Amino acid sequence: MVAMDSHSHWETVYATKSPKEVSWYAPHLEASLTLIKRVAPDPVTRILDVGSGASTLPDDLLANGYADICVLDISERALETTKARLGPRARDVHWIFADVTTAQLPDKSFDLWHDRAVFHFLTDAEDRRRYVDQVARCIRPGGHVIIGTFGPEGPSQCSGLGVVRYDEHSLHGEFGAQFRLLDSLLEVHQTPFGTTQQFQYCLCSLR
C-alpha cells in the first residue's frame, strides 16, 4: 500500500468511527505504560509514540509527569481527536502528521520509541526495512524501543488490511543485531466488542 492510500484509509477509519469503536481501543495501554515506566522512569525522557491514533497513551504519559512527548500518526483526523480530548494539555505535546516510513525525523533525538500496532501493518519487506532504519537513526545509543504487534494467535487482518503476526523471535529478527532484546510479553487485549486479540510486545535497546 502506498503512503497516500494508507493515509486515505486511516482518515476514513477515524472519520467514520469514534475512538472507542475500533478493535484496538483500550481505556489505558497498560502493557505499554508498564514497559515505558520500567525503562524510562525519568520524566524528561524524550518519547516518540508512533501510530498513536486516538489512543489515551499521551494522556497517561502526561498524567505520569512525562514532559517531552512526541506523537506521530498518518491520520491528521486522529491527531485532531486526541488534541481535542487533551484540551489545553495538547500544548505540552509535539504533534507529527506523517507516514513513519518516510517521515523526516531528527537524528539521534529520542530516548524511547513506542509503537503499538503500526509495525504489523507493514506487509511489504521494504517498508519494514525503512521503518527499522528510521528507528536506528532516530534513537540515541542506548535508547529503548517498545514494539507491539499481533501475536502468533492474533488476527490475520485488522481494519480491512492484512497484517504480519509475530512471536518474540520473529519480531526481534526484523530489527536485527543492532538491537538487543531485553524482554518480551504476550497480552490478551479485550476489544470493545467482547472479543480478544493477542498482542506480542518486544522491548529492545539500541546497542
pLDDT at 1 over 80: no
The pTM assigned to this predicted structure is 0.96
d(CA 13, CA 169): 31
In sequence order, the 6+-apart residues with CB closer than 8 A to the CB of 182 are 39, 144, 203, 204, 205
pLDDT tens digits, residue range 85-110?
A: 999 999 999 999 999 999 999 999 99
Domain range annotation of the chain: 3-14+31-206
pLDDT tens, residue by residue, 34-50:
999 999 999 999 999 99
Position 3 confidence tier, pLDDT thresholds 50, 70, 90: very low
* Spatial contact of 71 and 52, defined as CB atoms under 8 Å apart: yes
For residue 164 the three cell numbers come to: 504480519
Strands (E), the chain: 46-50, 68-73, 93-97, 110-116, 139-150, 157-158, 161-162, 179-190, 196-206
Given a cut of 90, whether residue 5 has pLDDT beyond it is no
Q: What pLDDT does residue 91 have?
A: 98
- Name the CATH architecture for the domain at 3-14+31-206: 3-Layer(aba) Sandwich (3.40)
Q: How far apart are CA 199 and CA 118, in angstroms?
A: 12
pLDDT (tens digit per residue) in 19-31: 999 999 999 999 9
